[in-house]
């Protein structure tokens, strides 16, 4: 047990685990380490999107067609940092509790708060942009900070700075082993994201209302330690799919309205042309009657000349109407072609995205296979060295419920953003690294 300092409380592993769970209202993952929930010091990128009805035209003499448009609230959308009290200071909304919540839960809370204070609905997107690093002090080659990665354990953090007190090839192999396990975890996480992205593109291509869960991820949903992360990936993909479908629906509605307006204009031109034909026919008939009468000298010559001028003007007007009608028909054809082209571009874009994702999935699977083989080879070569950090060599100082606690740690103890890892002694020989591989569930 580590020395208790005035601002710290030393607790056991179980007590720290329970305190951490209590602090986040039971929203942490099954590991109890809160890898996928919001923590102190997290930098969050929060985007607010409000919807509004926008008229298709501004002609007050005609009823406007309303189109639902989503626009960002730039006065609210920005980066926020979770303060030491676990709060976010949001303009117009005030202090919002964020600590221990998932990004989806925080987004729902912000949307509810906005609705209560503003009386309007809003869509909120929350992304963890950056997290506090892991700080490493004590008997290491290069004390300092390392970037936090979800699922990180003590050994992976120490691998970035190098442990002290030993030398020779065993240390190099151990560090390489730890790095390879980190790469494997990263590659598996990347594969999960790629599989969900592929499912999203397929759902867009088929115009499905929700994505089909990839078979490879169904096992993850069945495992408590992976359920929250995989479930969040699928939920985010379904939300992205709904947004894409809504945008596509709005585009289709706008195109249909434009075609409807053009067809109305074409119909009006046709009616004007019919009226002109009727009037011209009447003028020609009247002219023939007057010409017959004029042959007997009963109609003045200038009257016949006026009739000829009127008929010529009507014929010129008819020509103008035919030109205008042809122009409208051309605009209708262009609009229809634009709709077909847009649909074709959308399908081609999705197909291109699917091809690229399939290549990435194949490359990632190859990386996973290669990394697993490297880990097995390293594990076999280190079997006689039996190198692992003893429990009493490493301690973690962690903020829990506004206070700092200290716990002893092993090499496989998960870490959280902002943890301080203290190494008080060198690595020792006590357990084979193959057990570490088993603890990490690496084959």
| pLDDT band per the 50, 70, 90 thresholds, residue 283 | confident
> What's the confidence (pLDDT) of residue 56?
62
Element (H, E) at 361: helix 301-381
Query: Mutual orientation of helices 215-222 and 169-206 as an angle, nearest 10°?
Result: 120
Secondary structure (3-state) at 89? strand
Question: Whole-model pTM?
Answer: 0.43
Please give the DSSP secondary-structure letter assigned to residue 115.
H
The gap between the terminal CA atoms of the chain, to the nearest Å, is: 33
Contact 347, 201 (CB under 8 A): no
Q: How far apart are CA 269 and CA 101, in angstroms?
A: 62
> What's the confidence (pLDDT) of residue 359?
94
Please give the DSSP secondary-structure letter assigned to residue 96.
E
Is the pLDDT confidence value at 355 over 90?
Answer: yes
Contact 394, 401 (CB under 8 A): no
Is the pLDDT confidence value at 431 over 50?
Answer: no
**Tokens encoding 94:** 């005030």
Element (H, E) at 230: helix 224-294
> What's the confidence (pLDDT) of residue 59?
55
Chain-centroid distance of CA 130 in Å reads 16
Is the pLDDT confidence value at 260 over 80?
Answer: yes
Q: How far apart are CA 99 and CA 120, in angstroms?
A: 26
Q: How far apart are CA 134 and CA 131, in angstroms?
A: 9
Closest Cα to residue 439, out of 388, 404, 405, 393?
388
**Tokens encoding 111:** 């949307």
More confident call, 384 vs 128: 128
Is the pLDDT confidence value at 26 over 50?
Answer: no
Beta-strand relationship, 428-429 and 420-423: unpaired
Q: How far apart are CA 210 and CA 228, in angstroms?
A: 19
More confident call, 217 vs 369: 369
E-strand stretches of 139-249: 144-146
The DSSP line for 243-258 is HHHHHHHHHHHHHHHH
Q: List pLDDT tens digits, range 73-122.
A: 888 888 999 988 889 998 888 898 998 898 999 999 999 999 888 888 88
Is the pLDDT confidence value at 47 over 80?
Answer: yes
Q: List pLDDT tens digits, range 66-86.
A: 666 677 888 888 899 998 888
Is the pLDDT confidence value at 2 over 90?
Answer: no
User: Rounded to the nearest 5°, which phi and psi values hold at 45?
Assistant: -100, 110
* Residue owning tokens 């953003």: 417
Element (H, E) at 66: strand 66-72
Tell me the mean pLDDT in the region 418-433.
62
Q: Mean pLDDT of all residues in the chain?
A: 77
> What's the confidence (pLDDT) of residue 296?
67
Is the pLDDT confidence value at 312 over 50?
Answer: yes
Q: List pLDDT tens digits, range 375-403.
A: 888 877 766 444 444 434 788 988 887 78
More confident call, 12 vs 224: 224
> What's the confidence (pLDDT) of residue 286?
81
**Tokens encoding 256:** 């249909």
> What's the confidence (pLDDT) of residue 44?
92
Please tell me the number of Cα atoms within 13 Å of 405 on its side-chain side.
17
Q: List pLDDT tens digits, range 132-171.
A: 899 988 877 778 888 888 888 888 888 877 655 444 445 6
User: Rounded to the nearest 5°, which phi and psi values hold at 368?
Assistant: -60, -45
Element (H, E) at 397: strand 394-400
Closest Cα to residue 42, out of 78, 88, 75, 8?
88
> What's the confidence (pLDDT) of residue 383?
61
Is the pLDDT confidence value at 293 over 80?
Answer: no
Tell me the mean pLDDT in the region 204-223.
83
Question: In angstroms, what CA-CA distances link 189 with 161, 195, 418?
Answer: 24, 10, 22
Secondary structure (3-state) at 39? coil
Q: In percent, how much of the chain has pLDDT > 70?
A: 77
Chain-centroid distance of CA 64 in Å reads 33
| pLDDT band per the 50, 70, 90 thresholds, residue 288 | confident
User: Rounded to the nearest 5°, which phi and psi values hold at 11?
Assistant: -130, 165
Element (H, E) at 303: helix 301-381
């Amino acid at each position: 047990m580590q020395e208790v300092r005035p601002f710290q409380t030393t607790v056991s592993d179980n007590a720290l685990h329970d305190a951490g769970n209590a602090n986040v209202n039971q929203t942490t993952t099954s590991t109890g380490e809160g890898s996928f929930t919001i923590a102190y010091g997290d930098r969050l990128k929060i985007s607010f999107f409000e919807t509004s009805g926008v008229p298709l035209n501004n002609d007050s003499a005609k009823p406007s067609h309303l189109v639902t448009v989503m626009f960002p609230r730039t006065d609210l959308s920005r980066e926020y940092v979770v303060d030491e009290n676990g709060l976010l200071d949001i303009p117009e909304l005030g202090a919002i509790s964020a600590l221990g919540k998932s990004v989806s839960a925080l987004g729902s809370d912000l949307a509810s708060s906005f609705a209560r204070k503003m009386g309007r609905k809003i869509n909120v997107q929350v992304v963890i942009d950056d997290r506090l690093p892991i700080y490493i002090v004590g008997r290491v080659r290069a004390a300092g900070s390392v970037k936090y990665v979800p699922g990180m354990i003590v050994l992976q953090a120490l691998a970035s700075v190098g442990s002290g007190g030993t030398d020779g090839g065993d240390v190099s192999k151990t560090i390489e082993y730890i790095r390879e396990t980190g790469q494997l975890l990263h590659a598996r996480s990347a594969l999960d994201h790629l599989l969900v992205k592929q499912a999203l593109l397929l759902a867009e291509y088929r115009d499905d209302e929700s994505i089909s869960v990839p078979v490879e991820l169904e096992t993850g949903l069945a495992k408590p330690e992976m359920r929250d992360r995989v479930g969040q990936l699928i939920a985010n993909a379904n939300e992205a799919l709904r947004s894409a479908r809504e945008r596509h629906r709005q585009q289709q509605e706008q195109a249909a309205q434009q075609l409807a307006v053009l067809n109305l204009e074409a119909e009006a031109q046709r009616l004007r042309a019919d009226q002109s034909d009727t009037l011209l026919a009447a003028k020609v008939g009247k002219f023939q009657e007057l010409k017959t009468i004029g042959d007997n000298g009963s109609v003045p010559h200038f009257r016949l000349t006026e009739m000829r001028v009127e008929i010529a003007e009507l014929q010129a007007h008819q020509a103008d109407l035919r030109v205008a009608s042809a122009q409208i028909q051309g605009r209708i054809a262009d609009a229809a072609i634009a709709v077909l082209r847009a649909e074709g571009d959308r399908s081609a874009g999705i197909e291109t995205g699917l091809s690229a994702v399939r290549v990435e999935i194949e490359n990632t699977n190859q990386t996973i296979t290669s990394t697993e083989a490297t880990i097995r080879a390293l594990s076999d070569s280190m079997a006689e060295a039996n190198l692992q950090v003893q429990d009493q060599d490493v301690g973690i100082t962690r903020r829990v419920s506004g206070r700092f606690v200290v716990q002893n740690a092993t090499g496989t103890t998960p870490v959280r953003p902002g943890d301080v890892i203290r190494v008080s002694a060198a690595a020792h020989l006590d357990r084979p690294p193959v057990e570490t591989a088993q603890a990490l569930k690496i084959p």
